[in-house]
Amino acid sequence: MNFLGNLLSRLTAASTFVGAAAIVLMIVHITADVILRNVFLLSIPVTGAVVGNYYMAIVSFLPVALAGKLEQHIAVDLVFDRLPAVLQSWNLVLVRLIVGFAAGGAAYGFLLDAIEKYQFNSYVLELNYRVPSWPGYFMLPIGFGLWSAINFYRLAVTLKGCEDMTLPPISND
């Protein structure tokens, strides 16, 4: 269980790092385009296509598992906190099961769509430049798949009866 928890923790950290790096790259890219356009009357070609199809897909969907790892997603504690401990445990099992299957089902559907876009070599046209758009489609199944795996891990930990339901921190073991 520890190995799986560490692996999920590392994958979540990696996906979050890639998402943060994409934010920085997007800021640099757009800033350079604006400066070049206003100072030298030049433009970086396909900025809009790259931002919309790459940066935004990475920023939006790769770090989605971080909320699941930190358990910072939307929660309604008004009723949950008033339930007896047994019902709270069953509620956690039910919610983790539903979210795990929903995120996994979404990841599967997004993966099929991404594969189709890859096979057709989908692209967007911007200023007569063909920019492949299919790579951005793979961010959704990665993010939702990792979120699903985290939910099933937490479900297993809950069913096993461990008190600490958090993913372990990344260690150097």
Q: Whole-angstrom Cα distance, residue 166 to residue 147?
A: 14
Q: What is the pLDDT of residue 172?
A: 46
Query: Per-residue DSSP letters for 89-107?
Result: HHHHHHHHHHHHHHHHHHH
How do the pLDDT tens digits run along the chain, 173 residues long? 678 888 999 999 999 999 999 999 999 999 999 999 999 999 898 999 999 999 999 999 988 888 878 876 766 677 777 888 888 888 888 988 999 999 999 999 999 999 999 999 999 988 889 999 999 999 999 999 999 999 999 888 888 875 555 555 544 44
Q: Which residue has the tokens 């206003």?
A: 38
Nearest-angstrom CA–CA distance, 100 and 84: 24
| Dist CA 41 CA 115 (whole Å) | 39
Q: What pLDDT score does 164 carry?
A: 52
Quick check: 58 and 139 in contact, CB under 8 A? yes
